[in-house]
Amino acid sequence: MEDKAINLSLNVTAPKSISETDQSVLQIWGRNPLQGEVKISGAKNSALAIMAGALLCSQDCRISNIPSLVDVTRMSQILASLGVKLQINGDILDIDARDIGQSKAPYDLVSQLRASFFVIGPLLARLGIARVPLPGGCAIGARPVDLHVQGLQAMGANVRIEHGI
């Protein structure tokens, strides 16, 4: 997917043509010149998936541009409950998942984060078992986990849902 120039101006004429090579940047034409810098923080959904994916690593992982959000803190707490060592310094998160000591994620943490389901696959790969309560944390409404379950079963997992786990 390539970026396209966007004209957000009112009654301002944009240049007649933009060459194909110039379309890799966002260009805005308007009455006032733009100046300054905007720091783009990391994307929450990507960060949560990458954090869970670090469970697969047998070496230290460093993830940069981690957003400072409650969900990132919750995922950190879930990983720590599984035996993962985490250290955050600004927007840098160091994860050491060499010694996972637990296959069961605690309900009180998982119930607060929809993305907690992301730890199931890596736990299965590393330990051969994962016991993760059904996820919570979603204000959007009921979103079933059947697609996750079907994906896990398609990869050979024996999935049972009992008492919300």
Query: Known catalytic residue: 138?
Result: yes
DSSP 8-class letter at 149: H
- Residues 27 and 18 sit within 8 Å (Cβ to Cβ): yes
Q: ∠ at Cα 83 (134, 67), nearest 5°?
A: 70
> Which two tokens mark 155?
């990869």
* β-pair type (61-63, 92-96): antiparallel
Q: Which residue in the list 6, 8, 138, 155 is annotated as catalytic?
A: 138
At 85 the three-state DSSP class reads strand
> Which residues are part of the catalytic machinery?
138
